Amino acid sequence: MIQLTNKYSIDESAAYIIADKKQIQSIDLSQKERGFAEKMLENKSKLVHINSFHKSSFILLVNTEKDEFTQLEEIRKSGNKIIADIQELNLEKINIVNLSSEKFTYALCEGIMLSKYGFHKYFKDKEEKKSSLKELKIVSNNNDKTKVDLLNALITGVYHARDIVNEPLSFMTAQKLSQEIERIGKETGFRTEVLNKKQIESLKMGGLIAVNRGSTHPPTFNIMQWEPENAINEKPYVFVGKGLVFDTGGINLKPSGYIETMKSDKAGGATVIGLMAAIAKAKLPIKVIGLVPATDNRPGNDAYVPEDIITMFDGTTVEVLNTDAEGRMILADALAYAKKYKPQLVIDLATLTGAAVVAVGENATAIMGNTSKEIEILKQTGFEVWEKLVELPLWDEYKELLKSSVADLKNIGGKYAGAITAGKFLEHFTDYDWIHLDIAGPAFTEKNDSYRGIGGTGVGVRLLFEFLNKKRNN
Ligand code: BES
Ligand code: MN
Ligand code: ZN
């Protein structure tokens, strides 16, 4: 938790944000330390750590020559470096003293708090792994708590999203995921309704049922609701997340080298859950619904097989030609289900295709949809929070690739444009303003990536929380 304070002692460790080297003068340092800091900042270095033994002082010089968004991102990354030193020295407290612009304070706190995250549950000595940092205080004279509250809510949301992604199937089956959603809902304030296998069957969610058939664990369909009395919107924003708790590929089994990260195939769902948690905790005055269809995809005895024809929730028939294209099968049912809310806008998130990673890389999200206005706003927000979006087209021609000779649609396209044909498939099940985010690249990282950490990144939570906050301020 980030706190606000208006008093602090110069004997406490602190991070100072400055925009001009001259500001070093106003920091409590010895003559020699000051000389050292000046020399360091003279060179390329933008972050200096002065260890005075009784306290640490971090001096962060903002690079004002760069554009604003790059500045903010460099500050978040400095937060990661600061956390590394804090860990090393076992520091428990740090103050943020900003001698420059206020927005830098939040970026630094964000970088520190997101870097502090760790998934330690399964270590025997988990206490040892925990971050030493217990207190992060912003030194400030104005008592505007709102921004700090928003940031704390957001960080809670990202932590939940990461935790969910990082849990393996040995713990997190679809039913366990539902229990986690209920628990997080109670903790943060949103309402949860879980549909069980029977209910899913009586609703005829054919896509979700088909994908689940090879598993011994039942599927769930999770509905989260945040409907505050002071909502500014009549029609809700609906977020749909792929909750594939493990994707073996099914009968089209994934080979090694491809299967090992597939606990992260629930990352879209995890983001929706984390987002709902952040929204509820921040008490945003916006009506929001979260939908997460959940199952694992397995080649068990009764698994669906290529050439099966599946009747989906909305009656569309789908010829399955690859059981590994399962995400679109469960999302299609959720997207069709979303129609009943008469939504303002639906945004789905999914680790949907390897093709999206090939197209835009591991650090960017592929964005597609039918509302260019909202896509533009989201792309802009992507730069601000540094969760960047690359737009792919949904031209009619691509729909041709999904034509089947025996059913309304095939579940795979051709050899090329795999991220787009997946998007076209989903589009078929929408009749409202809609955006699709393929997060297959950035959802999970196998090597430490600054404040994004290792494992689940929670990508999308910061993006969409900021997006909604813009709606509120409009
Ligand atoms: N979950 C995968 C996509 C994925 C791949 C996510 C790599 C993260 C990293 C998805 O279910 C899948 O298997 N997609 C197939 C689709 C194909 C069969 C049309 C793919 O991308 O190969
Ligand atoms: Mn798959
Ligand atoms: Zn998948």
Q: Which domains does the chain have, with CATH numbers?
A: 2-138 (3.40.220.10), 168-473 (3.40.630.10)
> Rounded to the nearest whole angstrom, what is the distance from the C-alpha of residue 360 to the centroid of ligand 1?
15
Query: Rounded to the nearest 10 degrees, how much is the dihedral formed by the CA atoms of 459, 461, 467, 472?
Result: -170
**Cβ of residue 356 lying under 6 Å from some atom of ligand 1:** no
**Cβ of residue 387 lying under 6 Å from some atom of ligand 1:** no
**Cβ of residue 172 lying under 6 Å from some atom of ligand 1:** no
Q: What does the block give as tokens for 285? A: 């005055």
> Rounded to the nearest whole angstrom, what is the distance from the C-alpha of residue 464 to the centroid of ligand 1?
23
**Ligand 1 atom closest to the CA of 265, numbered from 1:** 1
Pick left, alpha or beta for residue 251 (phi over 0 → left; psi -120 to 50 → alpha; otherwise beta): alpha
> How many C-beta atoms lie closer than 10 Å to residue 366's C-beta?
26
> Rounded to the nearest whole angstrom, what is the distance from the C-alpha of residue 441 to the centroid of ligand 3?
13
Task: Please tell me whether residue 236 adopts helix, strand or coil conformation.
Answer: coil
Distance CA 168, CA 74 (A): 32
**Ligand 1 atom closest to the CA of 356, numbered from 1:** 21
Q: Which residues are registered as beta bridge partners of 456?
A: 444
Distance CA 353, CA 363 (A): 14
Task: Please tell me whether residue 416 adopts helix, strand or coil conformation.
Answer: coil
Contact (Cβ atoms closer than 8 angstroms) between residue 59 and residue 27: yes
Contact (Cβ atoms closer than 8 angstroms) between residue 288 and residue 279: yes
Contact (Cβ atoms closer than 8 angstroms) between residue 351 and residue 264: yes
Distance CA 443, CA 241 (A): 12
Residues serving a catalytic function are 254, 328
Ligand 1 pocket mutation, candidates 261, 353, 439, criterion most atoms within 8 A of CB:
353
Contact (Cβ atoms closer than 8 angstroms) between residue 378 and residue 439: no
Tell me the CA end-to-end span of the chain in Å, nearest whole number. 28
From first to last of its 474 residues, what are the pLDDT tens digits of the chain? 999 998 889 999 999 999 999 999 999 999 999 999 999 998 766 999 999 989 999 999 999 889 999 999 999 999 999 999 999 999 999 999 999 888 999 999 999 999 999 999 999 999 889 999 999 999 988 767 899 999 999 999 999 999 999 999 999 999 999 999 999 999 999 999 999 999 999 999 999 999 999 999 999 999 999 999 999 999 999 999 999 999 999 999 999 999 999 999 999 999 999 999 999 999 999 999 999 999 999 999 999 999 999 999 999 999 999 999 999 999 999 999 999 999 999 999 999 999 999 999 999 999 999 999 999 999 999 999 999 999 999 999 999 999 999 999 999 999 999 999 999 999 999 999 999 999 999 999 999 999 999 999 999 999 999 999 999 877
Distance CA 138, CA 117 (A): 19
Backbone Cα Rg of the chain: 24
Q: Which helix (H) or strand (E) holds 93?
A: strand 93-98
Residue type, 169: L
Q: Where are the alpha helices (DSSP H) in 135-173?
A: 146-166
Distance CA 87, CA 224 (A): 37
**Cβ of residue 412 lying under 6 Å from some atom of ligand 1:** yes
Which candidate, 225, 214, 239, places its Cα nearest to that of 295? 214
* CA 39 to chain CA mean position, Å: 39
Distance CA 170, CA 197 (A): 20
Is the Cα dihedral 200, 206, 211, 213 positive or negative?
A: positive
**Ligand 1 atom closest to the CA of 327, numbered from 1:** 11
For ion ligand 3, residues whose CB falls within 5 Å? 244, 247, 265, 327
> Rounded to the nearest whole angstrom, what is the distance from the C-alpha of residue 412 to the centroid of ligand 2?
11
For ion ligand 2, residues whose CB falls within 5 Å? 247, 324, 326
Q: Of how many residues is the chain composed?
A: 474
pTM: 0.98
> Rounded to the nearest whole angstrom, what is the distance from the C-alpha of residue 122 to the centroid of ligand 3?
25
